[in-house]
Structure 1
Amino acid sequence: MTPKSDRTASQPSQSPTAPVSRRQGGRDQQSAGNPPPGPQASTAQDWHALLGGRTPTPVQAAAVPALLAGRDVITTARTGSGKTLAFLIPAAARGIGVRAVSGMRPEVLIVTPTRELAVQVRDVARELGMTAGRITGGITPAQTRREASGKGVIVGTPGRLKDLINQGELNLAALRYVVLDEADELLSLGFLRDVGDILRAAQQQVQAAPGDRKLQLAMASATFPAEIRAVAERFMRHPERIDVAPAQQADIPQQQDILGGATDADHLLINTGREELMDVAAEQIREALRNPGGCVVVFCRTKSSVQRRAKQLATLLPEETVSPLEGNMDQKKRERTMGLLREGASRVLVATDIAGRGIDLPEVRLVIHMDVAATPEDHVHRSGRTARAGRKGVNLVLLIPEQRALWQTVRRRLPEALRPAPTPEEGQIDPAIQQKQGQGRTQPGRSLGQPGQQTSTQKGAMKEQGGRPRESRKGKVGAAPTSAGTGAGRVGPQRARRRR
C-alpha cells in the first residue's frame, strides 16, 4: 500500500537528474543506478513494489540500495523528497519490523525530535505493512504499553525512549535497524545526551545478545551542518553519505554544511513595520486561500506570540479557522489541531518551529516567516512545508526593522535558490533598533551555539520538543527565484537550541 503522506510521496519532487553525491569513508563515489552487489541483491530488485509502481525520488533511488546492502547511511535531501520511505522501505523489504514481537522488544527503532513527526512516521510504517507503535510524551504509561507492546517498529522521542530503557521496559536486544529522523536536530544541544545514551544502550544490548548481529544505523535530514555530521559519524561504521542537493550545490566539499530546501517555491520578502505586520499577514493569507483547499503556515518565535497572533488573525480572518500549535499545548490539543488541518476544517496554522520539521500538511500554499528564523537550518525546514511532492508554493519573509540584522546573518548562509530577491530596506540596519528587539545577544556572523556560552533559556531546552529561539512589517514583494553524543553531551561544537 502506497503511503499517502506528502513527506513520503514517491512521486519525484525533484528532477530524477538532481545531483546525488555519494561518499563512503570520505571518498566520493559515482552514483550508480544499479543496486550494489551483496546477499540482499534479489531483495533490492523487489523494493520498487513498495512504492506502488511510482518512480522513486532521487533520494530513494540512492539510499534504498545502500541500506539494503547493509551499509550505514547519512542522507541529506530537501524537505518533501521522500526521505521517510527511503529509510522505511529497506527494513520492510527485508521483513524487518513486519512481524509481531513479544512485549516491547522492537527490531526497528526510529527516533524523532517531535511527537507529531513520531505519529506521522508510525502511520507510514503501518501503511507499508509493518507493525508499528510510538513512545512519546503526552500519553499515559498504560497507553504507551498498549501502543508499543508487540510492535516490530517503535517510533519515539528521545526523552521517553530513554526513560523506558532505563526502567527496563524497552528492550533493545533484538534491534537490527536504527534511524535518526531529523538527525541534525537530534544531535544538537537539546537532544545530544539522550540520543547518545539511547544509541550506546542499543549497541550494548545487541552485542550482549546471542548471535553475531550488527546494528545498522541510518540518519536523515534536510540540513546537516558540518560539525553535526562529524558528530554523527562517530556512531557509525564507515557511513555512506548521500547528498541530494539543489543543482547549484552539485559539487559539495566533504566538510561543508548541506542545506536542502523548497527549491520549487517562490521565495519572497516584504519589508513592513511592527504596527502593520498583522494586517499584511492577513492580506497575504486571504489572497493565498482565495480558492478552495490548501492551507497557510505562519511561523513565530515564541509560544506566547503564537497564541497572541492566532487570536489576532482569527479576528482579521473571520471566514477562516485559525489554529495555534506550540509546545505548551497538551497532546490531545496538538493532535486535534493537526486533524483539523488535514481534514481541511482549519486552513491557517500559527506555530513555533515545532511545525518546521517533517510535519506533513496537505497543499501548503504559503509559508509566512512572521519572525525571522534563528538559523539558516531552521529557515530551510520552515520553507520546506510548501512546494512539496512537485507542487508549487510561496515562502514569504515579513521583515520588520528590528530583525534586519538577524535576517542578514541567515540570508548569507542560505542556498542561492532559497534567497528572496534583495531589497534596499533590508540592508538599512539601526543597531539601536536591533538591541530593542533583543537581537544584540546574537551578533551577525556569530554562531548560535559556541561552547561554554549557554543562556539560561538554552540550559532549559525541552527534551521532547528540542528548543528554539525567540520572536518576528507593508511593502512591495520583491521578485524571487531558493561528538557523538556519547551520553556526556560534550563532543564537538554544537548549535544552541532554545525552548519553543
Structure 2
Amino acid sequence: MTPTRTKDQPERTSAQATDNAARPRRPREGQDQARSGQPAPVSSPATDWQRFLGNRTPTPVQAGAIPALLAGRDVITTARTGSGKTLAFLIPAAARGIGMSTPRGMRPEVLVVTPTRELAVQIRDVARELGMPAGRITGGITPNQTRSEASGKGVIAGTPGRLKDLITRGELSLAGLRYVVLDEADELLSLGFLKDVGDILRAAQSAAGRNLQIAMASATFPAAIREVAERFMHAPERIDIAPERSAEAAQSDDILGGATGATHLLVHTTREAVLEVAAEHAREALRAPGGCVVIFCRTKALVKRRAERLAVLLPGEEVSALQGNMDQKKRERTMDLLREGQSRVLVATDIAGRGIDLPEVRLVIHMDVASTAEDHVHRSGRTARAGRPGVNLVLLIPEQRELWRNVRRGLPAAVQPPLTREEGQIDKAIQEKQGQGRGGGGGRPGNPGSPQPGPGRPPRDTGTASHSRAQQGQKRAAKPHPHNAQGLDTGTGAGRVGPQKARGRRR
C-alpha cells in the first residue's frame, strides 16, 4: 500500500516567508555531529537505515516515514496496529546516531511518550534491540528504580504523569533532547493526558528550540486531535496508511487503521450464554499448540469475574487477567506468562488495546462492544500482526446493539464484520428496562473506578441479580447458562442503557 503524503502547511505570504527565513533552521546531520564531537558515519543514514531491519522488507509505514524523519522533518503517521510504527520512529534516530550515547544522569536525546506502562517497556526493549541505550520512566516503580533504569540512557520511554513530575522537579533534564515521539498520540492528546503532554512538549521546545524534531504515530488519529497535535509541530508531513473506509466514515477527516489482515466476524448471543460462546471459540482457536486469545471486557470488575469463570470453562488453560488496578509487578508477570506461552488466554480491559505486543494472537473476542470506533480498531489490532492470520469476533447481545450500531458507523470498511439482519432489531423496551432495575448503577459521582453512563461511554455492569429483575417477563433467546442456574454471577453485564435518574448520596 502506497503511503499518502500531505504537507499540512498553509500558503505563505511574503511577510511570513521573510519571517521564516529569519528563523534558525535545524542543522544538517553533519553539523549536528560536529557540534556533539561525534565522528561522521562512513555511510549516509539516508541509504544505510535498512540495515537495522536485517533481511526484512520495510512495511509501508516504515518506507514512508523513515526517509521523511531522516530528512529532519516533523511527521504525523497513521497506520494500523502491528504495521511497524515503533521501528519507523526509532530507526531514524539510531541511523543518525541520536540516542546512541550514554549521558550522565537522566539527560536523554530521544524521549518517547506513551499512554501505558506496558507500551513504554515494549519501546524500551525494541530500542535496546537496535543497540540504543534505553530506559523507561513509568509508575509502579520506586524512585531508586527509576534512577537506575533511566540514568545514562540516550533513549527514555515513559508515561506522561511520571515524565512531567520528574521534569518539574528538575530530575529529568531536557537540555540535550533532540527527538520526541508521541506514540498512540490520539490517546495521549485526549482529555486525560492533554495537559501533561502539552507541558512536556512546551518544556522540550523551550530547552531544545528549533533543533527539536517531533514525530507522532498512532493507529487512529481523529481530525480534532490532529489539529491540537500540529500546534507543537513545524510543517508536519502526514503519512496516512489506512484501509478503505465505509461511506459514512469517509465523510469525516478522521484516519483509522485496523487489523486489515484479520477475518472479522460477528455472532449474536445472549447475556446468559455469552461466556459459554466465548469459551467455545477460545477453545477452538487454541486447539493447536502456541498462540493465544485476548478477550476484551468493559470494566475491571468484569475482567476479574470473567477470568475466574473462563478458568472453569477452559480446563487445562491458564487464564490471565489484566486491568488498571493491578500493580506493576503483577502486570509485568502477566505479560511474561503470555509471552512465554505459560498462559494462552488474556481477559483485559481496553488497557490491552494499545501497545501490548503478543507474539501470536489468534483470536480477539469483544465480549463487550467497545466505547468508540477508535477503541475497537485498537482492540482489533492485537491480532493479524506482522503478516500473521487472525480473527476478530464481536459477541453481540441485544442490549448492546444500539452501541454497536454507532461504533460500526465509524469503522473502516476493511475491519467491519458482515452485516446481519439482527443488528437493526433494537428493542427499545430492553434499552429502557436496563436502567430501571434496582441495584444497578455506576457508583458515586467522581469515582474514577465507577464511570457514569454518558455519551460515548458504555454504562457499568450491574451484576446478574439486578439484570434478572430488569429482564422479568421478557422472552429469552437462549436457555440460561448452567453456571447461572447454580446461582453464580456470570459477570456478562449488558449495562444500563437509556436516561437515568440522578441518585443522591446516602446520608
Name which of 322, 327, 331 aligns with 1:330.
327
Corresponding residue for residue 272 of structure 1:
269
Q: In 2 relative to 1, CA 321–374 (structure 1 residues): closer, same or farther, beyond 3 Å?
A: same
Q: 2:151: which partner in 1?
A: 149
After superposition, the CA RMSD in angstroms is 2.5
Question: In structure 1, what is the equivalent of residue 5 of structure 2?
Answer: 22
> TM-score, normalization: structure 2?
0.80
Shift of 1:206: 2.1
Give the alignment of 1:190-205 within 5 angstroms: 190-205=192-207
Using the TM superposition, give the Cα deviation of residue 436 of structure 1 relative to its aligned residue in structure 2, in angstroms.
Answer: 4.5
Look up the match of 1:139: 141
Question: Any residues of structure 2 matched to 1:104-119 within 5 Å, and which?
Answer: 104-119=106-121
Q: Secondary structure at the match of 2:44?
A: helix
1:113-136 CA distances to partner (integer Å, 9 max, x unpaired)?
A: 000000000000000010100000
Q: TM-score, structure 1 length as denominator?
A: 0.81
In structure 2, how many angstroms separate the alpha carbons of the residues matched to 1:196 and 1:438? 39
Segment drifting more, 239-248 vs 139-148: 239-248
Alignment coverage as a number of residue pairs: 423
1:395, 1:411 → 2: CA distance? 14
**Is the contact between residue 296 and residue 368 of structure 2 (CA under 8 Å) also seen in structure 1?**
yes
SS at match of 1:74: strand
Q: Secondary structure at the match of 1:231?
A: helix
Q: Does residue 217 of structure 1 match 2:206?
A: no
- Contact 1:300 1:353 (C-alpha < 8 Å) held by counterparts: yes
Contact 1:386 1:393 in 2 (8 A): yes
CA distance in structure 1 between the partners assigned to 2:351 and 2:218 by the alignment? 15
| Structure 1 residue corresponding to 2:395, chosen from 394, 398, 401 | 398
* Structure 1 SS opposite 2:342: coil
User: Against the structure 1 CA distance between its residues 149 and 249, is the aligned structure 2 distance closer, same or farther, given a 3 Å change threshold?
Assistant: farther
Residue 434 of structure 1 and its aligned partner are, at CA, apart by: 2.4
- Say whether 1:386 aligns with 2:369: no
Distance (whole Å) between structure 1 residues aligned to residue 323 and residue 351 of structure 2:
7
Per the alignment, residue 176 of structure 2 pairs with 174
Work out whether residues 450 and 460 of structure 2, in 8 Å CA contact, stay in contact via their aligned partners in 1.
no
Secondary structure at the residue paired with 2:89? helix
Q: Within 2, Cα distance between the matches of 1:89 and 1:469?
A: 39
- State the match for 2:307 in structure 1: 310
Q: Name the CA shift for 1:230/1:260 in 2 (closer, same or farther; >3 Å).
A: same
Paired position in structure 1 for 2:45: 43
For residues 366 and 292 of structure 1, what CA distance do their matches in structure 2 show? 14
Residues 254 and 112 of structure 1, relative CA distance in 2, 3 Å threshold: farther
Counterpart contact for 2:245–2:411, Cα < 8 Å? no
CA deviations 1:381-429 (Å, max 9, x no partner) are: 0000001111111000000111010000000110111111111212111
The Cα of 1:459 is off from its aligned counterpart by 11
> Which of 76, 82, 85 does residue 83 from structure 1 map onto?
85
1:407 matched residue in structure 2: 404
Contact 1:301 1:468 in 2 (8 A): no
After the TM superposition, list the runs of 4 or more consecutive aligned residues in structure 1 that deviate by more than 6 angstroms: 252-255, 458-461, 472-475
Contact 1:302–1:470 at 8 Å: present in 2 too? no
Tell me, yes or no, if structure 1 residue 129 matches structure 2 residue 131: yes
Q: What are the superposed Cα offsets for residues 254-276 of structure 1, whole Å, 9 maximum, x if unpaired?
A: 96100100011110011100010
Deviation at 1:53, TM superposition (A): 2.4
Q: Whole-Å Cα distance in 1 between the matches of residues 371 and 120 of structure 2?
A: 24
What residue identity is the alignment partner of 1:24? Answer: K
1:84-130 deviations in Å (ceiling 9; x for gaps): 00000000001111110010010000000000000000000000010
CA distance in 2, matches of 1:357, 1:103: 30
Q: Which residue of 1 aligns with 2:98?
A: 96
Name which structure has the greater RCO, CA cutoff 8 Å, separation 6+: 1
The aligned residue for residue 284 of structure 2 is 287
Where in structure 2 are there 5+ consecutive unaligned residues? 12-27, 31-42, 437-444, 462-475, 479-507
Which of 1 and 2 has greater Rg? 2
For the Cα contact (< 8 Å) 1:97–1:108, is it kept in 2? yes
Amino-acid identity (%): 74
TM-superposed CA distance for 1:318, in Å, is 1.3
Question: Which range is displaced more, 169-178 or 421-430?
Answer: 421-430
Equivalent-residue separation in structure 2 for 1:433 and 1:254 (angstroms): 32
- Relative to structure 1, the CA distance from residue 404 to residue 255 in structure 2 (aligned partners, 3 Å threshold; closer, same or farther) is closer
